[in-house]
Chain A
């Protein structure tokens, strides 16, 4: 067998094993007019810059250090193609499947939702690589010029590739979430605008980073590594979100996402400690790290919690059947499963961990720091209270009518929060000159309270007990539901298949 035949054989095997969607989309895009036109435009633009540069550059081409400027022009074109066009076409591609009802056909094949998501992502990667190869000759040309920095160019190209993959994954997740057909034109425009703004933002970041980046600067490397890890965690998160939205209704669509959220949280703190330990010279655990990381964590759990506690508690038989056999494993797994009550437990556990971390970081804070333990404790209490309210509201209201959705509960909770924030300022209505200094009614406003606690904290001895009582009340209101939500998992009777099949109650309604 000749080498040629062997390589054809190899290609066949690879093509055979490859993701079906990747194969299909690659075939399609080679025939697609839109793709060919984009490709041609990219080439034309590059040629244009090339000729203009050569004409205008004159002597500088030979003697000046204009390699980097030249590269920037090509880079901007490339960035537009791979950071705007490729993610946008990934977004459109999944939407078009839903539009053309081909998505239905796809989802009843034996392809898993994850394969579908990865197929779309790999197709985006292929497009990115095609655009890269189109621009490669021009970059090769600029590399002949003086002032061309190989390391920097290679670095930028790699970073851009990774960013393109992250944006494509976000685009795929957004299209997986899009349900409303009638607003598609609008959401598409919005998406395109968003991608353009994001690309300009990324270009400016990459630009400034590259300008200040030095290969021998350890801190820059650490920042980069940390940024990459965070980007990777968001990549994973969006992959889970996309997969969950494409997963069959009776499957477990929640625990994957919840695990990623936990992972992100642990990664943040694990990363901070790891860096303190691994690179003590460049990185020290102090106020400037702990305070932002703590605030970020609270925002994280506030946002995640709002979704987790308003979740639909219905668990399908399929999910029940796939529970682990071991009671302890079930107990550990339960908070990750769908349901607002379990979601509340899930958030509470992580808030407890966060509080423990806050206690542990106290010694690292300078003695002059105003950030005492009071602020994290107050934050925890507020989250417990508001998430508890949302959880209870969801439980009471969602059953009332099918018109009430989880989204309404979240909005309602936020409105309550907003009213609480504004109420202490009510006297301003009749007395515009009323000057507000902190008093106990300001407890309703978490932000003013945080500020007060970190500023003077003279009310701290009242604030903390009151908030504590509020948190206990919020827990009490949800206690029974939480207990039931966990017990439901731990003591779930998983009936053998045949019995389940016959137990379909006549006329009984489940779900809805």
Chain B
């Protein structure tokens, strides 16, 4: 994640241009449980071929939102549309074009992998050859062919998760809603699941909404994200847009058309800041004291061999600072700058509110 002394100030691209109609659209969605506002005025859109991250701390309302999208629950107010079909008015049509993978597996006893897929193919109305084809297609895609005869109770977590994804794909849906698909997987299995999902979006032009709180993972796979906390969307847009946002509550008001103008919403009044770190062979304390006197420098933190600080100057000022550190004979080993990762953005934007 760390790059040397480079901060690129890019103007974020509006994500929706040239993508046509949104395949997934949430409009002013509310879901209250008594007094608890689990989902409170959530709106966003996603388009074909897009992988959208749905990020939020525990209890933020991710699962609640996704269950409404999957027609397992009805909203208190607002609506959501999958390929133009309302989840309230047309649940039957929504079900035909939507694949939902819940956060739990949903295991049947006394069943093997093929029977499991075969059952869901039947449940989606596939008959005869079409059914066998659907099962075969999924077995090939998820590479579960070898395990076809294995009882599902004997599958490892990683294989179960593949099977789950396979079940979600059995009716070849346009839109996939995946609730924490990589939870509890080892790094290797996680990479595999991630590759499958990337393939679905890029090759098959599916829309994927994927929730997680493992942010590094989402950063690599998603091209856009929505950050939700305590039922409210705090930020959404492309990954770059979100990363360039500073700690502001309700940065983007969740209103119609925000996605299109999202880029314009980034602040211009505040100067850009970077987090920089200098690692030295010795003399950390002197460096710390010296840095505190320099312009643009704030929030200096001292580690065992390293000092990190926030720098509010532009690229020229940063270059100048590096020059002066060397001139002042500090035994510099490394000088690194880090652009805000999705994780930092997440930490900065959310406030740890729980309800």
A17-B127, A321-B89, A402-B34 known; A105+B110 contact, CB < 8 A = no
In the bound complex, do residue B108 and residue A31 qualify as a contact, i.e. CB atoms below 8 Å apart?
no
Given the known inter-chain contacts A105-B167, A248-B71, A402-B34, please indicate yes or no for A507 contacting B102, CB distance below 8 A: no
A110 with B124: CB separation less than 8 A: yes
Q: Which chain B residues lie closer than 8 Å to A133 at the CB level?
A: none
Interface size (B, Cβ < 8 Å)?
Answer: 47
B109 in the interface, Cβ–Cβ < 8 Å? yes
Q: Is the CB of B96 within 8 A of A507?
A: no
Are the C-beta atoms of A108 and B95 separated by less than 8 Å? Answer: yes
In the bound assembly, the distance between CA atoms of A104 and B106 in angstroms comes to 8
Interface residue? A493 (CB, 8 A): no
Rounded to whole angstroms, the CA-CA distance of A107 and B34 in the bound complex is: 25
Cβ–Cβ < 8 Å partners of B281 in chain A: none
CA distance A506 to B88 in the complex (A): 16
What is the 8 Å Cβ interface bit string for chain B, positions 194-207, against chain A (1 contact, 0 not)?
A: 00000000000000
Q: Which residues of A contact B314 (CB under 8 A)?
A: none
Binding stretch for chain A, among B115-123, B266-274, B299-307:
B115-123
Closest to B41 in A: A507
Complex contact B91–A248 (CB within 8 A): yes
* Residue contact A105 to B102, C-beta cutoff 8 Å: yes
Q: How far is the CA of A368 from the CA of B131 in the complex (A)?
A: 71
Measured as residues with beta carbon below 8 angstroms from the partner, the interface class of chain A is: 35 or more
Name which of A16, A28, A110 has the most chain B CB atoms within 10 A of its CB: A110
A250 to B111, CA, bound (A): 33
Alpha-carbon gap, A28 to B104, bound state (A): 21
- Kindly state the separation between the CA atoms of A251 and B171 in the bound complex, as whole angstroms: 24
The winner among B30, B90, B92, B108 for most chain A CB atoms within 10 A is: B108
* Least Cβ–Cβ distance between A216 and chain B, in angstroms: 49
A29 to B111, CA, bound (A): 10
The contact of A23 among B30, B89, B122, B124, by CB within 8 Å, is B122
Known: A23-B122, A104-B72, A508-B77. Is A109-B95 also a contact (CB below 8 A)? Answer: yes
Distance in Å: Cβ of A251 to nearest Cβ of chain B:
8
CB distance from B256 to the nearest CB of A (A): 9
Q: Assess A102 versus B107: contact at CB under 8 Å? Given A110-B92, A511-B76.
A: yes
Do residues B104 and A101 form an inter-chain contact, with CB atoms below 8 A?
A: yes
Residues of B contacting A20 in the complex (Cβ-Cβ under 8 angstroms): 119, 122-123
In the assembled complex, B79 has its CB within 8 A of some CB on chain A: yes
Among the listed A111, A402, A500, A507, which residue makes an inter-chain contact with B89, where contact means beta carbons less than 8 Å apart?
Answer: A500
Residues in A whose Cβ lies below 8 Å from that of B338 = none
Cα-based distance from A32 to B30 in the complex (angstroms):
43
Q: Of all chain B residues, which has the CB nearest A508?
A: B77
Contact B89 A100 (CB under 8 A): no
Structural contact, A108 and B100, CB atoms closer than 8 A: yes
Q: Contacts A28-B110, A504-B79, A509-B77; is A106 near B123 (CB within 8 Å)?
A: yes
Closest to B254 in A: A506
- List A109-124 residues whose CB lies under 8 Å from chain B: 109-111
11 A-B residue pairs with CB within 8 Å: A16-B127, A23-B119, A24-B111, A105-B106, A105-B167, A106-B123, A321-B89, A500-B86, A505-B28, A509-B76, A509-B77
The 6 closest A-B pairs by CB, nearest first: A20-B122, A109-B123, A31-B110, A102-B106, A24-B119, A28-B110
On B, residues with C-beta under 8 Å from A are 27-28, 30, 32, 34, 41, 70-74, 76-79, 81, 86, 88-92, 95-96, 98, 100, 102, 104-111, 115, 119-120, 122-125, 127-128, 131, 167, 171
Other A-B contacts than A28-B111, A110-B95, A316-B88, 19 sampled, CB-CB below 8 A, are A16-B128, A20-B122, A20-B123, A24-B119, A28-B109, A100-B106, A100-B108, A102-B108, A105-B120, A110-B125, A110-B171, A248-B71, A249-B74, A251-B91, A318-B90, A402-B34, A501-B86, A506-B28, A507-B77
Residues of A within 8 A of B (CB): 16-17, 20-21, 23-24, 27-29, 31-32, 100-102, 104-111, 248-251, 316-318, 321, 402-403, 497, 500-501, 504-512
